């Protein structure tokens, strides 16, 4: 399991991802892609060398991290190898703040881009079900995704602070999150495209006893669109809060409301 404090685990995860994509990929190739020497990378992996914040930033950029993941990676390195105790303490404080935050927060575009595949948010909620197993095999089977996808998603969600491991068990953070609102986003469009595809599959293969599909076509005044959108958002959150009052949950559902001009 990747720790949000352990930049070495993040590097190992990235190396493993590339090895799964290419069976011939090697540590030497990874070092070449990161523009560091193979000996230095080996020393870092084995804990005999650390990374300065400047080097960590260069590596994070070469790994294609967004700004949030980049800051996590750099703070993780600086918390262990900062030039002074003050810098190490400040980096550690930033990491702890990211982990312990419980308030309602908006996910940045960079963060959501990293978890825009639908099963990331599904895993966060799956954790709350009765009988949650916690193994990546169980998660993959429950969501009908591949085991490597589940493993990578769990590691990414922990690194970004959406889940954590307590006493060896995966736990969800007690916080509500939302994406940016009224801002064009290719990542959010892709997420909704995937959700619509899942809804289409459910329409064909789920029984009426386990799904509800409805549509209403109505005339409206264009000036009322904002008011309608606000009421839909209010309904979603109220329904979520009401369903959450039941202490034991045994199924994972998705509410997808589409309201658009014909």
- Measured between alpha carbons, how far is 12 from 1 in angstroms, rounded to an integer? 11
Contacts for 1 with CB less than 8 Å, ≥ 6 apart: 154, 155, 158, 165
- Average the pLDDT over 48-55 and give the result: 93
User: Quick one: which H or E segment has residue 20?
Assistant: helix 7-21
- Residue by residue, DSSP assigns 65-112 as --HHHHHHHHHHHHHHH-SSHHHHHHHHHHHHHHHH--S-EEPPHHHH
> Does the pLDDT value for residue 195 go beyond 50?
yes
- For the chain, domains (ranges, CATH) are 7-100 (1.10.260.40)
Q: Where do the DSSP E strands lie in 158-259?
A: 163-166, 169-172, 177-178
pLDDT of residue 220: 93
* Chain segment 175-187, per-residue pLDDT in tens: 566 666 655 678 8
Q: What is the rounded average pLDDT for all residues in the chain?
A: 84
- Which pLDDT score, from 0 to 100, does residue 13 have? 79
What does pTM read for this prediction?
Answer: 0.56
Task: Using a pLDDT cut of 70, give the percent of the chain over it.
Answer: 87
- For the segment 149-171, what is each residue's pLDDT rounded down to a tens digit? 999 998 888 888 788 877 767 77
pLDDT value at residue 196: 92
């Amino acid at each position: 399991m990747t720790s949000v404090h352990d930049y070495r685990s993040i590097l190992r995860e990235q190396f493993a991802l590339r090895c799964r994509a290419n069976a011939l990929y090697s540590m030497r190739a990874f070092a070449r892609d990161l523009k560091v020497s193979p000996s230095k990378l080996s020393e870092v992996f084995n804990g005999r060398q650390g990374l300065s914040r400047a080097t960590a930033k260069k590596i994070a950029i070469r790994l294609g991290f967004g700004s949030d993941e980049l800051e996590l990676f750099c703070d993780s390195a600086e918390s262990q190898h900062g030039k002074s105790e003050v810098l190490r303490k400040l980096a550690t404080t930033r990491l702890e703040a990211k982990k312990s935050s419980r308030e309602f927060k908006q996910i940045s575009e960079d963060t959501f881009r990293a978890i825009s595949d639908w099963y990331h948010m599904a895993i966060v909620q799956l954790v709350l079900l009765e009988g949650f197993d916690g193994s990546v095999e169980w998660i993959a089977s429950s969501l009908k995704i591949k085991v490597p996808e589940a493993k990578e998603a769990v590691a990414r969600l922990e690194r970004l602070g959406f889940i954590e491991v307590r006493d060896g068990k995966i736990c969800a953070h007690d916080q509500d999150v939302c994406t940016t609102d009224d801002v064009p986003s290719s990542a959010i469009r892709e997420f909704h495209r995937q959700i619509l595809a899942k809804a289409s599959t459910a329409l064909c293969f789920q029984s009426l006893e386990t799904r509800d599909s409805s549509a209403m076509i109505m005339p409206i005044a264009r000036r009322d669109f904002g008011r309608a959108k606000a009421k839909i958002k209010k309904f979603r959150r109220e329904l979520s809060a009401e369903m959450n009052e039941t202490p034991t949950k045994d199924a994972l559902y998705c509410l997808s409301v589409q309201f658009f001009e014909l």
